[in-house]
Chain A
């Protein structure tokens, strides 16, 4: 079966792409394979994916450069620790500090790399939570329909009308101290340091699932009226079976697309919160925190431009790449663009 498909599609490729494969009676590609092919044809999106993979690898490998066994072979500039203080306050970019230093003499490059890592982490976890809650919520509302649907979707409407910043702030204020105490007691004082980050995950995840729930609900609503669902039900399939086998797989496209668009918005939101002093707490730093730090040092006498330009540029480039990626995924999965 698998062999047959690969040989057929190889033939189709010669005949001019997947669009032609339907014409000569070959087995058509599954929608997801067709979409991934369409994605691979988009240069900007693929380049963004490669760039993002490179950034992630860099973040993962960065701390290794500080290992005593290899640090002596590397240029000094990439071996600084993001938290090491020094006398070199506000050094402009130089061979020793490629991106300069901040008010405490900390190397900006190493802070930028670790900050990008934290921003990424928050974005991925926040988007992941929006995936989990949003898909379940929307799928339930759309599948159950009727009264359940209106109750679940009214809750979404209400949460939409609440300014989410207040919600996240209250959450941080209510839970941070108890959670920190609990983590310190149960694990270690190092774990207590992560309390604010953990809360940030929960807060951002719990406000970013709303749009996902709406999209999924609409999709399920239209899917469940389709013939194959009725057929499955007539054959005696239960609710769980229908949800898992028929509805969720058909949602994959829409969910992947929206997930790629949620990631940058969660990262942006985190940077706003950190900018306001509500997100990441020092000594940890995210990109938003670094930008706030740089903006706080703007004055009329001297401008330390590198403190704003580098973290800001990094955030902008990341958002750009994520948007290209999201657009590429959307174009690939959009049924209107298939076959073009």
Chain B
């Protein structure tokens, strides 16, 4: 198990190098630069100075190595000195658009917002989805199975960009129960959480239901019944544990997605989270910012997937780690 975790972690490093390099090169291939949309177009000298200040005039490979933090400069008498900062010490560099801030600053401001919105939506999705899926599987053939399954399907098919405006029109503008937008007190969080979480609640309900339906006909459930265990024990202690596995493996990428922000929900409610910065900075060619956010997303995804795989083994003793 430890060997497996170490092996997976060893894979994370090279993967991050590839991902950051891809993002870095792809962005540089795009026409336009970070200084194109200045309010007053800068004179050629100023732009040249700006490009030199941010090392944008160097060859691409050198820029990348500098970004990662593996660039050495010649020091005066003799010898070499590593240029400070870089990805390897967790420094994402300066933002080219928000000139006075580093990317780390902006992430430090925006990430907690996205994290709390994502965590709330995740709790909503699990809290609604698991009981709903469990219930519809157990009550097979009753009216509440059909009602529950239809509900799960409905919330999957109404995308966030439809749910959001309708919630705003009805609950915020017409009845004025909740604020329309922005991110402040707990009341501000209700509509965005619903908008973001309902869809995933539906997905999880369906996964949970399918898991239960797959597990219930197995032989060990029959054996448990034959032993005379109570129905509650069978369902909760024996069936649930295996049936929840698909939900567990779906939770990893889901959590990474939710935590790094859903741009649609953030832009709908004008919430200053990561998603807003990701799209805006890609449009304005804020290179270090985009690469930084991409790397952040990739780290989250890889770590969460690892946690999911480990949790999988804890829940299902038949899984063996290679």
Contact = CB atoms under 8 A, between A and B. Distances in A.
Query: For the side of the interface on B, what is the size category?
Result: 35 or more
A308 to B, nearest CB: 5
State the majority secondary structure of interface residues on A.
helix
Contact of A312 (B23, B31, B166): B166
Given A272-B161, A320-B157, A298 B169 contact: yes
Contact of A305 (B153, B157, B164, B169): B169
Given A165-B263, A271-B159, A275-B161, A174 B154 contact: no
A295 interface: yes
A315 interface: yes
A170 B32 CA distance: 11
Interface string B216-232: 00000000000000000
B31 A295 contact: no
Query: For the side of the interface on A, what is the size category?
Result: 35 or more
Contacts of A157: 15
B159 A295 contact: no
A162 B31 contact: no
A173 B268 contact: no
B19 A158 contact: yes
B60 interface: no
B1 interface: no
A291 B31 CA distance: 30
Interface in B130-160: 153-154, 156-159
A169 interface: yes
B278 A165 contact: yes
Interface in A260-279: 264, 268, 271-272, 275-276, 278
Contacts of B161: 271-272, 275, 288, 291-292, 295, 312
Contacts, number: 115
A166 B297 CA distance: 11
A167 interface: yes
B302 interface: yes
- Which interface residue of B22, B159, B174, B297 has the most chain A CB atoms within 10 A? B159
A275 B279 CA distance: 12
Nearest to A291: B161
Interface string B7-46: 0000000010011001100110111100000000000000
Contacts of B32: 173
Given A166-B278, A276-B264, A312-B165, A319 B15 contact: no
Interface string A287-327: 01001101100101001010011001101110110011000
B103 to A, nearest CB: 15
Contacts of B157: 264, 316-317, 319-320, 323
Contacts of A167: 26
B283 A295 contact: no
B301 interface: yes
Interface string A61-83: 00000000000000000000000
Pairs of residues from A and B, 8 with the lowest C-beta to C-beta distance, nearest first: A312-B162, A319-B157, A295-B165, A320-B157, A161-B298, A173-B30, A316-B158, A174-B30
Given A291-B161, A319-B157, 6 more contacts: A174-B26, A272-B263, A298-B165, A312-B161, A316-B157, A320-B153
Interface of A: 157-158, 160-163, 165-167, 169-170, 173-174, 177, 264, 268, 271-272, 275-276, 278, 288, 291-292, 294-295, 298, 300, 303, 305, 308-309, 312-313, 315-317, 319-320, 323-324
